[in-house]
Amino acid sequence: MKIVSVILARGGSKGIPFKNIKKLCDKPLISYVIQASKNSNVDETWVSTDSMKIATVAGAFGAKIILRPDNISTDTSQSEEALIHFAEKKDFDIMVFIQPTSPLIKPEDINSGLEMMNEHDSVFSVTKNHWIPRWTMDVKPYKWDIKNRPMRQDKPETYLENGAFYITKKKSLLDSKLRYSGNIGVVEMPLRRSFQIDTLEDLKLVEKIL
């Protein structure tokens, strides 16, 4: 049973240029997830990128590199396109898709998900979400009645996809063309480690946590 991780790290980023190798506490952002993967039960850690600059940084931290074609590295490209590209090129049984923007992930999170793959086809990371009043951009209550405001404890808790990682079998990925399918399980991560870095403000916030 061969387990690989795949970290997708595009060179282009509208929010922060070369975000994936931006320094976070004096280390490239991508290095945190590479190290988490290498310290987990994953057999091989790969970075899929269209950028030689990112490839050089990722390689220095021990990741294997697969170069991704430009046509699946645009702003509108879906992650699944790059995952399928990898799956068609490389041999493995289980893939752990890790987002480079989740530097607070730990090896134990990945291992917990891998343990669940004996009974599931796919697993992904979540954090618990308590109900709070949400509003549309034109300031209308979103799926609740302003005249009958629910009590938080009367609303069921839900899981919020935190985007840290997704695990699936190679066959499931190639058959469904999706990062998760079939019998799906979740690994719960605490809110304090569920932050995604998309802006400079996010970067500063996570620096304080680290």
The enclosing domain of 59 has a CATH number of: 3.90.550.10
pLDDT classification of 84: cutoffs 50, 70, 90: very high
In a domain, 32, yes or no: yes
In a domain, 165, yes or no: yes
pLDDT at site 182: 95
As for how many domains the chain has, the answer is 1
In a domain, 75, yes or no: yes
Q: Contact at 8 Å (CB) between 47 and 28?
A: no
pLDDT at site 130: 87
Q: What percent of the chain has pLDDT over 70?
A: 99
In a domain, 48, yes or no: yes
Give the burial string for 190-201 (b: 16+ CB within 10 Å, else e). eeebbbebeeee
Mean pLDDT throughout 122-144?
93
119 CB burial (10 A radius; 0-12, 13-18, 19+): exposed
In a domain, 189, yes or no: yes
pLDDT at site 152: 81
In a domain, 143, yes or no: no
- What is the C-alpha separation between 10 and 167, in angstroms, rounded? 20
Q: What is the DSSP letter of 88?
A: H
pLDDT, tens digit, for every residue of 23-66?
999 999 999 999 999 999 999 999 999 999 999 999 999 999 99
From the list 68, 134, 149, 179, the catalytic residue is 149
Q: Give the domain extent around 102.
A: 3-125+159-209
68 belongs to the catalytic site = no
pLDDT classification of 18: cutoffs 50, 70, 90: confident
pLDDT at site 210: 84
Query: Residue 14 pLDDT more than 80?
Result: no
Query: Residue 151 pLDDT more than 90?
Result: no
In a domain, 138, yes or no: no
pTM of the predicted model as reported, rounded to 2 decimal places: 0.90
pLDDT classification of 173: cutoffs 50, 70, 90: very high
In a domain, 95, yes or no: yes
Q: What percent of the chain has pLDDT over 90?
A: 75
